[in-house]
Amino acid sequence: MVLDLPSIRAFFDRTAEELAGDPEAPAMHQVLLVALEAGVVRAAERHEDGTWRANAWVKQAILCGFRRTGLVEMPGPGFPMFDKTAYPPRHFNLEDAVRLVPGGTAVRRGAHIAHGVVLMPPAYVNVGAFVDEGTMVDSHALVGSCAQIGKRVHLSAAAQIGGVLEPAGARPVVVEDDAFVGGLVGLFEGIVVRKRAVLASGVVITGSTVIYDLVHGRELRAEVPEGAVVVPGSRPASGDYARSHGLQLAAPCIVKYRDDKTDAATALEQALR
């Protein structure tokens, strides 16, 4: 199948009403799925200035698949599943060089899973997601719709990388190369985690969360800097009632920037790969 990016974009970069009424939509949807899985088409991309921007037409194309298809019963291992026909489970073969460990992991069609990725059970990767080479998605981890995960990232057990499909122009969650995402970490609302950052277990960050940089004495939003080590913290809640009850609010804190000691603590066991 020839994946011509300009032709794919020209077809899908139209209104939802135009796409819904086009008889070529089902065939082009299959082309879109293959292009997403091959990484030729991405829901978001990094620009030369380092910013990440959503490709609204790609997200619009994915949404079109949901709108124009119906709910059906899909056979599953031991129990049926019910979903829209546009995005069935993705199947892999040996040539894909993906370690899909037995135990219940599911990857939806339209997700890019690069060579050398390890998927531990039961993980879930949704449509439009991009998971680059050498990354490990650990047990009970979620890679939400359109999330962008870089090379050699470790998503630890129960890490939740939120999905962002609507609005189409909204930036999805991004985790860049060599980042370490600890267990039970939650990343939502288009937050960008830069290269080599380390998020300790239990950190929750959204696009509007204030991140307190204790090293440089500053407050950050929407982005975790390169190499930052973030741990869960707290700060006093404002108001008389909060003070009288000793209430605290969550406050993720950058306590240091990555060094050799951090590298040793977060090193992945290469034998597992």
- The predicted-structure confidence for 219-230, as pLDDT tens digits, reads as follows 999 999 999 999
Omega within 30 of 0 (cis) for the link into 121: no
Start-end of H helices in the chain: 5-12, 16-20, 25-38, 56-68, 240-245, 260-266
- Tens digit of pLDDT for each residue in 181-220? 999 999 999 999 999 999 999 999 999 999 999 999 999 9
Structure letter (DSSP) for residue 54: E
As a whole number of angstroms, the distance between CA 98 and CA 11 comes to 31
Higher pLDDT, 175 or 76: 175
The mean per-residue pLDDT over the stretch 30-49 comes to: 97
The domains found in the chain, sorted by start residue, are 89-262 (2.160.10.10)
**Average pLDDT, whole number, for the chain?**
94
The reported pLDDT for the residue numbered 20 is 81
The reported pLDDT for the residue numbered 263 is 81
CA 17, distance to chain mean position in Å, is 28
The reported pLDDT for the residue numbered 82 is 93
pLDDT bucket at 269, cuts 50 / 70 / 90: low
The reported pLDDT for the residue numbered 171 is 95
Q: Provide φ and ψ at 57, rounded to 5°.
A: -65, -30
Structure letter (DSSP) for residue 158: T
- Tens digit of pLDDT for each residue in 106-116? 999 999 999 99
Answer yes or no: are the C-beta atoms of 181 and 159 closer than 8 Å. yes
The reported pLDDT for the residue numbered 264 is 78
Higher pLDDT, 167 or 262: 167
